[in-house]
């Protein structure tokens, strides 16, 4: 008779199941955050090592590689744990495909390190290889944010993803600047690229601010050391105006690395509090959903007792008071899901900017037979040349798509 | 070593799992389509019965009720089957909440029939009670369409949902017209409502055409009997110009009911072929995904054998040829998911119109303490009074929302 209420309970159980999965995803994001941080540092030290023709920084690099290896094991373990309950993972097809890409890149890491140790590649190529791996790791975080069904958690994940992406641009700037200072040379293309890295950081941190909790925003504010920022600005100016005349002071390269590292390490502390916040949020939501489920269950039991005691009636299954409480529960649930769905729509628009860029990339891949990387490079180069934002170029590419020949895909 | 490829296989398995679930959802949609059709007919006959003050149509109504009872059992069984693997159902929280609402309405059906049999309610109230139940059933179909992750299947489900919704407006028009012809009276408000029902049908069938397969569209074309449509237009004109002077010819009421029923029954035949198309589509997709999974597995096995035979290398895990095939598989998978995601985005915009209306309804519920039904009525009344489309009114309501006081939700 009260079969409707059984489904209300089942709906709640589904919600709890999804929240528990989000909590596990949150853990995975935390592990990826730690690994990414150490990889970013390895990328920077590798450029110091390559810039010094392997004469310095060898020991520092070796100890950083050991640190990364340890964290790689953690990440692989977390991936493997996901695999065990494959079917239950929301958005599994996309998430697992991203993980496959990361694992393949990880398998190539030993080879990359070998080429760095033997100085068989340029700082630019090394930076690009590390950046590709990190971009794969961030794509896993993005899929996690994209699949969450709870608006508050989605909001936290969107903030987290954008913070990580902003920090990654800061990390790329560190490695790029190391190469510039070590070579003592800069040209217009490199100046454009540097500016692009700075602007990309700002864009990400803006989205982060829009979505982060007030407490987290305050953490960011508190973590900013004005002396470090001033030093960063000074060094940026120095880097931008480096002449074409040979090497600069090697102390300058080290100063740049140290200044960037202080800033990025402070960002890592913020990231840790976002991860903590995310975990607490999941725990709170799960506890709340469980309490509400128990309340539903109590009413359900009362109704079952009453329905079996009362004679069958042709008009209503329960007395008027209980009937009202059933209708109330159904309405409350509908209203709550509606509110959640609205909030989710709002948060998701923030994810759309990234999706637009992905879509433009896909279009270029299909129509111009480009690899994913080359398509992205083409977008980025166009943005840099035309001094437009990446998202504007992506939108322009999509707007043109009707004029391109249809492909077979 | 080839752990990346294991995840590629897991991603495929997730896809297959989702497709299988979609196939089950397709069955549920088929059962709901059949039940809805018979409920629509019961709604029409109930109005014939009430319009004739219970003097005629009693036997026809009794046999229709029996038919509906049989199909209600089918629907309940399908719902119960869903419940058993609750956790695995995608979009479970929303889907189950919708089902809870339907089951509660079904529990009240016996009471509604009793009131009809004893002529204790007006044709208008009877129409509204049936329409509410059917709207709940269509909401289940909507959630199914909203949760599908395959673009072709989503497309088919969006077409299906809009066709069912259009047919439901045709059913409401049938019941409404019966009440008008039986009473021999129409006023401006009722004329507006009638026009609204006609326009709503056209809007739904337009979205249907935009999303349906060419073969299905041809079925629709073939199913249209020009004589029936001409008769419908003639009767609509007659209904619109009924004077306020007492009863009309009772033959007219019967003619209207028969003409609408011929049209709606033809729609049902189309719906059946959409359901069949959906089932075949799911089967094809599942078969294709299984073949591709087997291919992946074969390459994976070959790589495992080769990796265990070859000596450990610091540069690459496989020889250059196999390395290329691994990279190719990863790129192909990324590209395929990207294309699917783009297509899905396109299809989903069609679902957004409905969501906008839902959101506007939610806003009115929260700010004006209205029930869901009253909020919808307010939107519809405003649309009718201002002669604007429902979606335009909904968008206007949302645009105003910043000016409304924030509520505690």
**Has residue B302 been placed in a domain?**
no
Residue B299 lies in a domain: no
CA distance A69 to chain B (A): 14
Residues A333, B6: C-beta atoms closer than 8 Å: no
pLDDT of residue A116: 97
- Specify the pLDDT at position B406: 42
Task: Please report the residues numbered 238 through 297 in chain B whose beta carbons come closer than 8 angstroms to any beta carbon of chain A.
Answer: none
Place B113 in a pLDDT band, splitting at 50, 70 and 90: very high
Three-point CA angle B331, B333, B336, nearest 5°: 110
Residues B277 and B328 occupy one common structural domain:
no
Cα(B391)–Cα(B354) distance, integer angstroms: 8
Mutate: best of A72, A93, A357, partner B, most B CBs <10 A: A93
Task: Give residue A248's pLDDT.
Answer: 65
Cα diameter, chain B = 98
Task: Report yes or no on B408 lying in a domain.
Answer: no
pLDDT band at B361 (very low <50, low <70, confident <90, very high): confident
Which residues 9-28 of B are in CB contact (within 8 Å) with A? 10-15, 17-18
By the 8 A CB rule, do B211 and B159 touch? yes
Highest mean pLDDT among A319-333, A356-370, B139-153, B187-201: B187-201
Residues B174 and B79 in one domain: yes
Res A318: pLDDT? 59
| Claim to verify: residue B115 and residue B227 sit in the same structural domain | yes
Give the per-residue pLDDT at B85: 54
B367-405 pLDDT per residue, tens: 777 777 778 888 888 888 877 777 778 877 776 665 444
Interface predicted TM-score (ipTM): 0.73
* B247 and B134 assigned to the same domain: yes
User: In which residue are the tokens 């094991």 written?
Assistant: A73
Q: What pLDDT does residue A320 have?
A: 65
Cα R_g (chain B), whole angstroms: 26
In the prediction, which pLDDT does A386 show? 77
Based on the domain organization, do B131 and B268 belong to the same domain? yes
One domain, residues B125 and B211: yes
Give CA–CA dist B105/B215, Å, rounded: 36
Q: What's the pLDDT score for residue A409? A: 29
What pLDDT shows up at residue A166?
95
Test B11 with A93 for CB contact under 8 angstroms. Answer: yes
Give CA–CA dist B150/B20, Å, rounded. 11
User: Chain B within 8 Å of A348 (Cβ-Cβ)?
Assistant: no
Q: Quote the strand ranges of B273-335, DSSP E.
A: none
Task: Search chain B and give the residue with CA nearest A328.
Answer: B371
Computed on alpha carbons and rounded to an integer, the radius of gyration of chain A in Å comes to 26
Judge whether A363 lies within some domain. Answer: no
Scanning A67-126 for CB atoms below 8 A from B yields: 76, 79-80, 83, 86-90, 92-97, 99-104, 106-108, 110-111, 114
C-alpha dist (Å) from residue B278 to A93, A197, B25, B155, B272: 22, 48, 10, 10, 10
Which pLDDT belongs to residue B340? 76
CB contact under 8 A, B362 and A5: no
Residues B264 and B319 in one domain: no
Residues B361 and B324 in one domain: yes
Mutation target vs A (from B12, B334, B356, B406; most A CBs, 10 A cutoff): B334
Query: How far B97 CA sits from the closest chain A CA (Å)?
Result: 6
- Kindly tell me if the per-residue pLDDT of B233 is higher than 80: yes
Nearest to A114 among B101, B110, B315 (CB): B315
- Among the residue ranges A349-353, B23-27, B66-70, B143-147, the one predicted with the least confidence is A349-353
Closest partner CB to B97 (pick from A8, A76, A96):
A8
- Residue A117 domain flag: yes
The residue ranges of DSSP E strands in A291-367, in sequence order, are none
- B253 in the same domain as B109: yes
Cβ separation A337–B409 shorter than 8 A: no
What integer pLDDT is reported at residue B387 of this predicted model? 76
**pLDDT for B405:** 43
Which one of A104, A120, A325, A351 would you mutate to disrupt binding with B, by most B Cβ within 10 Å of its Cβ? A104
Range of the domain at A17: 3-285
B75 within domain boundaries: yes
**Number of inter-chain CB pairs under 8 A, A vs B:** 203
The Cα–Cα gap between A394 and A397 comes to 5
CA-CA distances (angstroms) from residue A399 to A396, B17, B253? 5, 35, 53
Residue with tokens 């129509």: A367
Name which of A264, A274, A141 is nearest A214 in CA terms: A274
pLDDT at B409: 29
Q: Left, alpha or beta for A318 (phi > 0: left; psi -120 to 50: alpha)?
A: beta
- Among chain A residues, the shortest Cα distance to B116 is held by A315
Q: Quick check: A57 pLDDT over 70?
A: yes
Q: Are residues B269 and B220 in the same domain?
A: yes
Of A212-216, A283-287, B354-358, give the lowest mean pLDDT range: B354-358
DSSP B245: S
Contact status, residue B193 vs residue B169, Cβ threshold 8 Å:
no
Token pair 């690899």: residue? A371
**Judgement on whether residues B25 and B81 belong to the same structural domain of the protein:** yes
B274 shares a domain with B151: yes
In this complex, do A362 and B335 lie within 8 Å of one another by their Cβ atoms? Answer: yes
Closest CB to A97 among B1, B11, B111: B11
Q: Which of B1, B2, B7 to mutate to test the interface with A (most CBs of A within 10 A)?
A: B7
Contact list, A361 vs chain B (CB under 8 Å): 338
Return the higher-pLDDT residue of B224 and B118: B118
Chain A CB within 8 Å of residue B376 CB: no
Q: Do A4 and B90 touch (CB under 8 A)?
A: no
What pLDDT does residue A407 have?
Answer: 42
Which pLDDT value is given to residue A305? 74
Please report the DSSP string for A27-75 in residue order. HHHHHHHHHHHHHHHHHHHHHHHHHTTTSSSHHHHHHHHHHHHHHHHHH
Residue B125's pLDDT band (cuts 50, 70, 90):
very high
Residues in chain A with CB shorter than 8 Å from the CB of B120 are: none
Of the two residues B208 and A113, the one the predictor is more confident about is A113
* Residues in Cβ contact with A266 at an 8 Å cutoff, skipping those fewer than 6 apart: A223, A224, A225, A228
CATH number of the CATH domain containing B350: 1.10.10.10
Q: What is the C-alpha to C-alpha distance for residues B254 and B47, in angstroms, rounded to an integer?
A: 11
In the predicted structure, residue A158 carries a pLDDT above the cut 80: yes
| Residue B302 reports pLDDT greater than 90 | no
In this predicted model, what pLDDT tens digit does every residue of B56-96 receive, in sequence order? 999 999 999 999 999 999 999 998 887 555 455 667 788 88
pLDDT in the model for residue B355: 73
- Per the structure, the count of domains in chain A is 1
Chain B residue with Cα closest to A407:
B339
Whether A7 sits inside 8 A of B409 (CB atoms) is no
Q: Of A172, A158, A209, which is closest to residue A355 (Cα–Cα)?
A: A158
Residue A267: phi and psi, rounded to 5, are -65, -40
Distance separating alpha carbons of residues A72 and A62, to the nearest angstrom: 15
Statement: residue A31 has pLDDT above 90: yes
Q: Check pLDDT > 60 for residue B216.
A: yes
Q: Tell me, what's the pLDDT at A250?
A: 74
Average pLDDT rounded to a whole number, residues B340-368: 74
Would B290 be classed as within a structural domain?
no
- Measure the N-to-C terminal CA separation of chain A; round to a whole number of Å: 51
Evaluate whether B281 touches B266 at the Cβ level (below 8 Å).
no
Any domain includes A356: no
B191, burial (CB in 10 Å: exposed 0-12, middle 13-18, buried 19+)? middle
- Mean of all residue pLDDT scores within chain A: 84
Contact A13 B86 (CB under 8 A): yes
- The yes-or-no verdict on residue A312 having pLDDT over 60 is no
Q: Which two tokens stand for residue A65?
A: 């590689």
């Amino acid at each position: 008779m009260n079969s409707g209420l059984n489904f209300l309970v089942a709906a709640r159980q589904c919600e709890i199941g999804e929240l528990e999965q989000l909590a596990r995803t949150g853990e995975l994001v935390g592990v990826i955050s730690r690994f990414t941080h150490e990889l970013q540092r390895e990328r920077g030290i590798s450029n110091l090592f390559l810039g010094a023709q392997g004469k310095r920084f060898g020991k520092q690099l070796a100890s950083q590689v050991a640190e990364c290896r340890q964290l790689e094991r953690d990440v692989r373990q977390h991936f493997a744990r996901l695999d065990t309950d494959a079917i239950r993972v929301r958005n599994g097809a996309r998430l697992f495909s991203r993980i496959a890409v990361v694992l393949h890149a990880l398998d190539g890491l030993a080879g990359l390190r070998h080429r760095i140790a033997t100085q068989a590649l340029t700082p630019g190529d090394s930076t690009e290889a590390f950046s590709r791996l990190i971009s794969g790791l961030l794509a896993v975080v993005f899929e996690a944010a994209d699949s969450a069904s709870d608006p508050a958690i989605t909001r936290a994940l969107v903030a987290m993803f954008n913070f990580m992406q902003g920090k990654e641009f800061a990390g790329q700037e560190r490695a790029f600047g190391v190469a510039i200072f070590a070579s003592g040379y800069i040209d217009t293309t490199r100046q454009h690229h540097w500016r692009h890295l700075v602007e990309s950081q700002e864009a990400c941190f803006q989205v982060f601010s829009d979505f982060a909790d007030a407490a987290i925003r305050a953490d960011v504010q508190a973590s900013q050391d004005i002396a470090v920022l001033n030093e960063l600005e000074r060094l940026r100016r120095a880097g931008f105006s480096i002449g074409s005349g040979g090497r600069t002071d090697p102390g300058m390269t080290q100063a740049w690395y140290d200044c960037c590292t202080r800033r990025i390490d402070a960002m890592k502390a913020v990231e840790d509090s976002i991860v903590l916040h995310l975990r607490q949020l999941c725990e709170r939501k799960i506890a709340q959903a469980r309490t509400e489920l128990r309340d539903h269950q109590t009413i359900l039991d009362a109704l079952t007792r009453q329905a079996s005691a009362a004679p069958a009636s042709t008009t209503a299954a329960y007395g008027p008071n209980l009937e009202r409480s059933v209708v109330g529960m159904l309405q409350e649930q509908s209203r709550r899901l509606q509110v959640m769905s609205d909030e989710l729509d709002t948060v998701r628009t923030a994810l759309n900017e990234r999706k637009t860029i992905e879509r433009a990339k896909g279009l270029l891949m299909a129509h111009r037979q480009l690899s994913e990387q080359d398509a992205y490079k083409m977008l980025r180069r166009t943005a840099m040349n035309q001094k437009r934002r990446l998202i504007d170029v992506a939108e322009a590419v999509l707007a043109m798509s009707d004029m391109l020949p249809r492909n077979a895909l």
